[in-house]
Structure 1
């Protein structure tokens, strides 16, 4: 069933290579088993083996094992839909990890951008221990700084940022500087669950984008005339120079963008539309950052009838 799913369905998905990686790990545990073997006990055993490193090259987190089991579930559902299985087979998934709430303050974001540009503190105030003077002590990596700014101001996902170009194309999004619109999907690219709606170019980003247009060839996040495929080492270097922890990943930029918008009082429905996600996700993950969060509740505890039985 996994091979059937890989041959018939995976190629139509947004990331077939990721599906192939999942299938390779799933086959290491389920490959010689019948579909009737799959139950809650087997799924929990898979998670235990995967997180312990007995399957695959190294131990992984529970969330990774969960995503692989989601691929198994999708394969079995596809097989049942295609009448390869008479009865549906249910896959038991481990509980979802709590949503990440880490976001960057304005000073942390500034330090991260400075780290990308090779700028670090060179002198500190004796009393406050705060940086008093900054200087460029390392080689700047400009494409990382551009990546960070796009993520902070637009909340665009990692892969979509790397695919941005200056002109209309079918491989990734692009900046339409004439009409001040940022398209996150290539022309003709299918929409996925992780939606990428076009949005107006944020005011703080527009001036940067116009300047970058004259400095780059293909797109803003490029190095030596070639677009970056994965932003890893450069971002890690910037984070370390900024003195931030390992929990600060590229996805933190999206969380930060959402949090900053809610803190400015932008309605949840508008934030959801800008990020390309649902209002429920925004409310559940970031809602408590809004200044209006539970604002009506604090006004309920007044009046002479408080505490009286009706």
Structure 2
């Protein structure tokens, strides 16, 4: 009796005398991905492209009870994702989505019950390699919703299929005080408290006890004074380029978007370099070659370990993430009474979000309401 086929799958081929390589097994065919044993993520992307080329979606009449969810996701990944700012996110989201909504499940299976079950199973670790937060599962369902809407717009589905999303997480209100920000920069430079007051337990003496991470300190200062997002700071160059922003010291302008890069919902408008930051930037230009946040002559891809160490040395909690630097910049400007429209333009955030999330920090917040109790 013939053995049941295991379908198209990824397999690590061991080779005597040569490094192992990931291959794609498709029945009796074997296709090399060209990816080594340590590059499993690239092999996953190769498998996705292989399946996309092999499989042809069956739309039939376009009814939700006829179209497979996997075909909708595949159509979205091949037709829409390449035009997006971060197409790799679609690939990352598709892996757990296909595990739960994959063939032979039809679009009619997508309803409130199945979406809530997906969030529950994803948070419990039953889907994917590890458990994730509900917010992460919600972002994956947003990708599914976008794929279904795109299929309806392209007339592959005759009616829209709504996706039930989990409640939005509360907006982050964590921001740093001046002393906390100073402690964070000191932690990046390897400086920590070495002596404390016996009664108050407050630090009274500081010293450099660890090796400094200058690129982390530069990252923190740019975030605090420019309100730029994590990714935009890491991609900053000294010269004009197409992959990220650049710093124009001739006119003292910080361009947060590369030449030819499309604008997205995460707006990155050019802004003048703040006066407090400008002397630092001029000095950094003399001691670095590619950009301000470089390590051994190369821009880093993600600020994780260095920032975590600085946070630990500063005595701050895990709620202090790189994105808190942007919150802090906006909060400080609001506390100083900077007009909301100017804060929105400088930070690349809409005025509606500024009012909703940071409005209570402004000295004029509801000032007219408090004056109503004066007089007769």
Using structure 1 for the length normalisation, give the TM-score. 0.96
**What are the Cα deviations for residues 212-258 of structure 1, in whole angstroms up to 9, with x where unaligned?**
00111100001000000000000000000000000000000000000
Q: Distance in 2 between matches of 1:78 and 1:40?
A: 20
Shift, 1:121, TM fit: 1.1
* Alignment counterpart, residue 91 of structure 2, candidates 2, 12, 20: 20
Larger radius of gyration: 2
SS of the residue corresponding to residue 367 of structure 2 reads: coil
Which residue pairs with 1:276 in the alignment? 348
Per-residue Cα deviation, 1:24-75 (whole angstroms, up to 9, x for no partner): 1111110121011111111111111111111111111111111111100110
- The superposition leaves residues 83-102 of structure 1 with CA deviations (integer Å, 9 ceiling, x where unpaired) of 11111111111110110000
Confirm whether residue 168 of structure 1 aligns to residue 274 of structure 2: no
**Which runs of 5 or more structure 2 residues have no equivalent in the other structure?**
1-71
Q: Does 1:117 align with 2:194?
A: no
Alignment partners' CA distance in 2, 1:117 and 1:295: 42
Aligned length: 304
Q: Counterpart of 1:262?
A: 334
What are the within-5 Å matches in structure 2 for residues 293-308 of structure 1? 293-304=365-376
Match of 2:100 in 1: 29
In structure 2, distance between residues paired with 1:12 and 1:53: 31
Match of 2:265 in 1: 193
Greater strand content: 2
Paired residue secondary structure (1:129): coil
In structure 2, what is the equivalent of residue 89 of structure 1? 161
After superposition, give the CA deviation of every residue in 1:107-138 in whole Å (9 maximum; x if it has no partner).
Answer: 00000000000001112233432222111000
Structure 1 position 62 matched with structure 2 position 62: no
Q: Report the Cα distance in structure 2 between the residues aligned to 1:76 and 1:127, rounded to whole angstroms.
A: 62
Q: For residues 201-212 of structure 1, what are the structure 2 equivalents within 5 Å?
A: 201-212=273-284
Q: Where does structure 1 differ by over 6 angstroms across 4 or more consecutive aligned residues? A: none
Per the normalisation by structure 2, the TM-score is 0.80
* Cα distance in 1 for residues equivalent to 2:199 and 2:119: 51
Q: Which residue of 2 aligns with 1:243?
A: 315
